[in-house]
A = this chain, B = another copy of it.
Amino acid sequence: MMNTSPPRSPRRTASRPSPTLEDLALAAGVSRSTASRAINGGDRVSPEAQAAVERAVGDLGYIPNRAARSLVTRRTSSIALVIPEPDVRVMMDPFFAVVITGITEALRDTDVQLVLLMSRADDDASRTLRYLRGGHVDGAIVVSHHEADSWARSLAQTGLPTIFIGRPWDTASDVTYVDSDNVGGGRLAARHLVGLGRRRLATVAGPADMTAAVDRLRGWTEGLAEAGLPASPVVHGDFTTEGGAAAARRLIAEHPDIDGVFAASDLMALGVIEALQAAGRTVPGDIAVIGYDNHAVAATAPTPLTTITQPMVGMAVRAGRMLLEEIEAPGSHPEPVIYPTELVERASTAVAPTASAANA
């Protein structure tokens, strides 16, 4: 019995196969190699051939097959943005959107694509690492966080060009990173409150395992020392509003006479203000509060927040550019870049006491 079944149809029945370099060369009347050269920079190709190929590209709507190209060049034309443990809290942070926007900006008019790598904690952590070292991307930008140390080390061993946004814990293995001057930011906060005449200060610091939090706290302490003040009480929060509120409650329980608080994040500052007001204190009348991040809510909060701002978009753009450079010229190991921070004054530390005289 004859086999009368039709030949197995190709997977993609709908659209006709996209033209290959072969087709292009044929249409342009040149060889594959010439066509290839014309496409990539057009070096060592006659003007006529170049023109012919370019016209053919337009006619056929030719698009190079990335896989084939990648197979031979060993370049993928894509980089990864690694976000370790993206719990909802992390994701909702506008920080994220900014980072993505910045990197995208750095990548524009480049044909480099951004692939998102969210490594979940419950996941086999090494899965992300495997992908990274699998040669699927030409480089990676890692949003630093508490566990970043292991990442830094592992990635350094890989040899994959990597830039961290936010200084990772382990900077031993000459990792490259972009960060803002958190120490300077903390110092700014201290100076501002001291300059306002506040003397009974306290701080709600961030998690002790995050470099940004540690740095801000160090700057704050240095700033106080600079002014001849003793170290202030320190309570740790988790960068959230609730955490800030809880921290503030502990603070006023143990130190009822404070007149100034530095919260290491705007969200925490909001919580601090809430808790203080719930405890009958006025802000900034009784207690001046300063936040950090210049989060969107800082300006629109019931009590607009004085805060420390950092050029986040610029940092992300820079990280993107640095990565591209490092990919282009491996081994150049660029120096870490630290962006300056600035104070933004708003109502939460307004000099004019709201109703402080009555309460003091």
Give the B-binding residues of A (Cβ under 8 A): 11-15, 18, 63-68, 70-71, 74, 76, 78, 81, 86, 88, 91-94, 96-98, 100-101, 104, 108, 113-118, 120, 123, 130-131, 133-136, 158-159, 241, 270, 296-297, 300, 302, 330-331
Query: Do B67 and A330 touch (CB < 8 A)?
Result: no
Q: List 8 A-B contacts (CB under 8 A).
A: A12-B74, A13-B331, A14-B330, A15-B159, A86-B104, A100-B116, A113-B116, A115-B115
Question: Contact partner of A92 among B117, B134, B296, B331, CB < 8 A?
Answer: B296
Question: Contact partner of A76 among B18, B67, B270, CB < 8 A?
Answer: B67
- Complex Cα gap A219–B131 (Å): 47
Question: Contact partner of A136 among B66, B108, B136, B297, CB < 8 A?
Answer: B66
Query: Do B67 and A11 touch (CB < 8 A)?
Result: no
Q: How far is the CB of A144 from chain B (nearest CB, A)?
A: 18
Question: Contact partner of A63 among B78, B130, B159, CB < 8 A?
Answer: B130
- Complex Cα gap A159–B10 (Å): 14
Max chain B C-beta neighbours (<10 A), residue from A11, A81, A96, A97: A97
Query: Do B11 and A330 touch (CB < 8 A)?
Result: yes
Question: Contact partner of A86 among B18, B70, B94, B101, CB < 8 A?
Answer: B101
Query: Do B63 and A158 touch (CB < 8 A)?
Result: no
- Complex Cα gap A331–B117 (Å): 29
Query: Do A15 and B158 touch (CB < 8 A)?
Result: yes
Query: Do B113 and A113 touch (CB < 8 A)?
Result: no
Residues of A contacting B: mostly: mixed
Query: Do B104 and A116 touch (CB < 8 A)?
Result: yes
Given contacts A66-B136, A133-B63, A116 and B118 within 8 Å (CB-CB): no
Query: Do A117 and B108 touch (CB < 8 A)?
Result: no
Given contacts A101-B86, A104-B118, A114-B115, A330 and B92 within 8 Å (CB-CB): no
Q: How far is the CB of A315 from chain B (nearest CB, A)?
A: 16
Query: Do B113 and A114 touch (CB < 8 A)?
Result: no
Query: Do A14 and B159 touch (CB < 8 A)?
Result: yes
- Complex Cα gap A12–B331 (Å): 10
Query: Do B117 and A116 touch (CB < 8 A)?
Result: no
Query: Do B159 and A12 touch (CB < 8 A)?
Result: yes
- Complex Cα gap A64–B113 (Å): 21
In the complex, which residues of chain B have a beta carbon less than 8 angstroms from the beta carbon of A78?
115
